[in-house]
Amino acid sequence: MVFKSLISRVIILNILLLSAGIATFTLFHIRREQVRMFSATRESAKLLLATVENSIFNSMRIGNSEDVQAILVMVGKNPSICNVRIFKPDGTILKSAHPDEIGRSVDTNDFALFRSGRDEGIFRQHGVDVLGMVKPIVSDSRCFGCHGNGRKVIGVLNLNYSLTDATKKVRESSAYFLLSTVFIIVLLSTGVSYILLRLVRRPIRSVVNKMAQVEDGDFSVRLAPGRDDEMGSLIRSFNSMVDKLEKAKQDLQECHYRQMERADRLASVGEMSTGIAHEIKNPLAGISSAISVLADDFEQQDPRREVISKVLEQISRLDKTATDLLYFGRPGTPEFSYVDLNALVHKTLFFISQHPEARNIHRIKDLARDLPPVWVDEKQFQQVLFNIMINAIQAMKEGGSLTIRTSEVTSGAKGLVQLQIADTGPGIPADDLERIFTPFFTTKTQGTGLGLPICRQLIEQHGGTIRVESHHGEGTAFIIELPIVAGQGIEREVSL
């Protein structure tokens, strides 16, 4: 549970880094102190050895060997000296601060120093760490009278200096450094933990708690920045975010309210349009029949026949408007079946080719082979295709190309059949693009504004989607996508 907290992990990481850094620094200083202590001990031992050597040389030069023994005994009284002696090159002790060892063999460690040619070495002797030093005594011309002619080693001066005091001081120094290290680590860790807990975790917890209130829908919560640092900046950003969320919620509520009002109005319009359509269509049928009967009484060259033709054309327009209103207000229940979309495109294009405005339009078909059938109401979907194609043809008044393309696509794990109807007309202005599926919106002088809304309504009834892509001056493309439904296939009506 502790390691799930970011602050806890930061604190632990800081403690580990502090411990590692300070421990490394402390070990370096302890090692440095050890080297310094042993160097000081070595210098003291060398100085003492040189003093003993000079004293012995002066006594031996005048042939007073008793003074040599006395000097060694006196030097051996120093508590830091374990022993000081002179032994022969073969290891036999000649003189010693401890007279009882005269005549014996020198310690193996001291003799090994001499035999190896080294001047000093650290080893353990009688349970004590000592610094052993050897100094060969070489005869010169002043010694030839007693020791014969020629330079030779006539003895080895050996000093064993105790390292007990130095080791004790090193331990005391190490303990001091270790205690200081522990104290510094505890102090810094406590300080860092307090800073993180006080200045970081507490504000973050406040933000988290307030965020939970915002998630519950309370947008009145705010936090006081308090400090002008990163946490203060975070809190100010949080307050700004809540302000924007509150405003967005208000805008969304207002938009939702307007949409509900619009939906109510559209529902009312739908009910009203259905009633009006019924009331209009019946009289229109009677008027159309009566005028047609009257037209039969006029000669073919009678100018009144042209007037009657115009009246019948307007009656047909009114009847279509009433039919659209009736269908939009109360669309029929679709009768689903498996339909070959490519075959339906061919059939619709045949009817489109008979339209007077389609004479200057070049029709391009790019239909995918082995396209899966779609589960639709064939008549309703043909109405959708017819409506969109007619709109495309009417948009290309000076001629152009109408491209129909089918393909199989995927959206996630879902298979779709895609139909694209594109024209090379002037395109749809950006301001109008968002409103073309709005009921009663039209840019045509004789349009009802219900064609595209009905198309979208029918496609959504079939579980599909429709969208439009258009750039002003570059044409328009309507893209319809229908789900592929598993089931029995159908025979192709058209061989592609």
Q: How many CA atoms lie within 13 A of 75 on its CB side?
A: 31
Superfamily of domain 337-483: Histidine kinase-like ATPase, C-terminal domain (3.30.565.10)
Q: What is the pLDDT of residue 173?
A: 79
Lookup: tokens for 275 = 């009633």
Instruction: Convert the pLDDT of each residue in 367-376 to its tens digit.
Output: 998 899 888 8
Distances (CA, A) of 238 to 223, 229, 391: 8, 14, 50
Give the percent of the chain with pLDDT over 70: 80
Residue with tokens 């939970």: 212
Q: Give the distance, in angstroms, between the CA of residue 247 and the centroid of all CA atoms in the same chain.
A: 29
Q: How far is it, in rounded angstroms, from Cα 378 to Cα 389?
A: 16
Q: How far is it, in rounded angstroms, from Cα 367 to Cα 346?
A: 10
Q: What is the DSSP letter of 326?
A: H
Q: What is the pLDDT of residue 61?
A: 64
Q: How far is it, in rounded angstroms, from Cα 217 to Cα 186?
A: 44
Q: How far is it, in rounded angstroms, from Cα 135 to Cα 364?
A: 113
Q: Which of 131, 136, 167, 165 is nearest to 152 (CA)?
A: 136
Longest dimension (CA), the chain: 177
Q: What is the pLDDT of residue 180?
A: 82
Lookup: tokens for 145 = 């009278």
Does domain 219-330 match CATH 3.60.21?
Answer: no
How confident is the model over 269-286, as a mean pLDDT?
A: 65
Please indicate, yes or no, whether the overall pTM of this predicted structure exceeds 0.75.
no
Instruction: Convert the pLDDT of each residue in 446-492 to its tens digit.
Output: 555 666 787 887 888 888 888 888 887 888 999 999 988 765 444 43
User: Is the per-residue pLDDT at 229 higher than 60?
Assistant: yes
Q: What is the pLDDT of residue 421?
A: 92
Q: How far is it, in rounded angstroms, from Cα 221 to Cα 210?
A: 6
Instruction: Give 122's strand partners.
Output: 131
- Average pLDDT over the chain reads 78
Q: What is the pLDDT of residue 404?
A: 92
Q: What is the pLDDT of residue 493?
A: 40
User: Is the per-residue pLDDT at 166 higher than 70?
Assistant: yes
Q: How far is it, in rounded angstroms, from Cα 441 to Cα 448?
A: 8
Domains 219-330 and 337-483 share a fold: no
User: Is the per-residue pLDDT at 274 higher than 70?
Assistant: no
Residues near 371 by beta carbon (within 8 Å), at least 6 away in sequence: 340, 341, 342, 406, 407, 408, 417
Helices and strands (H and E) in the chain: how many? 12, 12
Q: Which of 181, 180, 201, 183 is nearest to 11 (CA)?
A: 201
Q: What is the pLDDT of residue 488?
A: 42
Q: What are the two backbone dihedrals, phi and then psi, of residue 140, each rounded to the nearest 5 degrees?
A: -130, -165
Beta strands in 283-413 (DSSP E): 337-339, 361-366, 374-376, 400-411
Architecture (CATH level 2) of domain 2-170 = 2-Layer Sandwich (3.30)
Beta strands in 34-92 (DSSP E): 81-87
Instruction: Convert the pLDDT of each residue in 293-327 to its tens digit.
Output: 777 777 777 777 777 777 777 777 666 666 665 55
Buried b (16+ CB within 10 A) or exposed e, 313-347: eebeebbebbebbbbbbeeeebeeeebbbbbbbbb
Lookup: tokens for 21 = 């850094």
Q: How far is it, in rounded angstroms, from Cα 93 to Cα 76?
A: 15
Q: What is the pLDDT of residue 272?
A: 63
Residue with tokens 């073919």: 300
User: Is the per-residue pLDDT at 49 higher than 70?
Assistant: yes
Residue with tokens 């598993």: 486
The CA-to-CA distance between both ends of the chain, in Å, stands at 66
The answer to whether 472 and 427 are in contact (CB under 8 A) is yes
Instruction: Convert the pLDDT of each residue in 53-102 to its tens digit.
Output: 777 777 666 666 677 778 888 888 888 888 888 888 888 888 888 888 88
The residues spanned by each domain of the chain are 2-170, 219-330, 337-483
Find the length of the chain.
Answer: 496
Q: How far is it, in rounded angstroms, from Cα 104 to Cα 93?
A: 6
Q: What is the pLDDT of residue 405?
A: 92
Which is it for strands 361-366 and 400-411: parallel, antiparallel or unpaired?
parallel
Q: What is the pLDDT of residue 448?
A: 58
Radius of gyration (C-alpha) of the chain in whole angstroms: 55
The answer to whether 67 and 54 are in contact (CB under 8 A) is no
Q: What is the pLDDT of residue 403?
A: 92
